[in-house]
Structure 1
Amino acid sequence: MVIYFYKVYESYGCFSNFSPHGIFLEGEYWQTVEHYYQANKFLGTKDSVVIPIIKAATTPEKAASLGRDRTRKVRPDWEEVKCSIMRQAVLTKFLTHSDIQKILLATGEQQIVEKSPTDYYWGCGLDNTGQNNLGQILMSVRQEIRERKTVSEIQ
């Protein structure tokens, strides 16, 4: 069976980067993974002035909109680092919130797919031909948490 997720209010909505599960990374609190991810696009650039605005955005939708503004210039290494930044934020989210960690672990070995009709990079896209990178990250995080739990049980 494949587990699909997309909207926060739907089944497995806690897998969405828009879910209301804050994270503490690099000495700062972020309301959602989406806030953190979008702000990281501008680290070290002339457009870094938008970072506190993204951080303070009242919703993850607003943070996403600010981060997707094509008039701003993202950091030159963005394509190389965006997956590792996303993975760190997602891992932190599921290590921080035990309630959703249990949901993630309960998925067993099932494939996890972001059912975004428009995103062919993070999701599967309208025709299921997308790369599903967010789903891949979630499955990787699930495995890492399992391994960490096994190690802590042995010690």
Structure 2
Amino acid sequence: MFSADNLEPYYLSRTDVNHPLASCSKFGFELDDANWPSVEHYYQGMKFEDPALREEVRNAAHPNKAQKLAANNKRSIRKDWKQMREVVMTRAIYIKCRSHPEVAAALLATTEQKIIETSQYDYYWGCGRDGLGHNTFGKVLMAVRSKLREQQSV
């Protein structure tokens, strides 16, 4: 068997609305008593404790609009957001995979590849321009992939 080091990395962009693993792709799911049109809607909405603001983000026509609404209301972002953001993203990706077998299949098809989010400007979620970013989105996808594999083998 090949080690993950021998496989080509799997590159994707969170903002690619046509890629099933992207947070902006329109694969809706139910979580926290609401139906969310995309992972990005959920992620942006969960930045806020105010139910009206959260609902406004949830109802945004496009994931980009959800991002803009959140950015325009950055003074209202919950105080613990930096501690919560990875958990929120992980929950959303996992529920998306559980709600859409084709998304789970796409994630499992990456086998043991390292998944890299290609954002040149985001050094937290992506790899950054120089490839030295945290790649947190890729790490979240790989963690969910491991969890799905674990559940398959039970």
Same structural fold, with TM-score higher than 0.5 when normalized by the shorter chain:
yes
Residue among 57, 67, 70 paired with 1:67? 70
Where structure 2 has 5 or more consecutive residues not aligned to the other structure, the ranges are 1-7
In structure 1, C-alpha distance between the alignment counterparts of 2:116 and 2:142, rounded to whole Å = 9
Residue among 123, 126, 134 paired with 2:126? 123
Give 3-state SS (helix, strand or coil) of 1:41's partner: coil
- Deviation >6 Å, runs of 4+: none
Give 3-state SS (helix, strand or coil) of 1:57's partner: coil
In structure 1, C-alpha distance between the alignment counterparts of 2:74 and 2:106, rounded to whole Å = 38
Alignment size in residue pairs? 146
In structure 2, C-alpha distance between the alignment counterparts of 1:8 and 1:78, rounded to whole Å = 24
Residue among 90, 94, 100 paired with 2:93? 90
In structure 2, C-alpha distance between the alignment counterparts of 1:71 and 1:39, rounded to whole Å = 12
Give 3-state SS (helix, strand or coil) of 1:4's partner: strand
**Cα deviation, residue 70, structure 1:** 5.5
**Cα deviation, residue 71, structure 1:** 4.7
The share of aligned pairs that are identical, in percent, is 36
Q: Deviations over 1:130-154 (max 9, x none)?
A: 1000000000000000001111xxx
1:50 paired residue number: 53
| TM-score between the two structures when normalised by the length of structure 2 | 0.89
| TM-score between the two structures when normalised by the length of structure 1 | 0.89
Q: Deviations over 1:88-135 (max 9, x none)?
A: 001001111111211110111000011011111001011111100000
The CA RMSD measured in Å over matched residues stands at 1.4
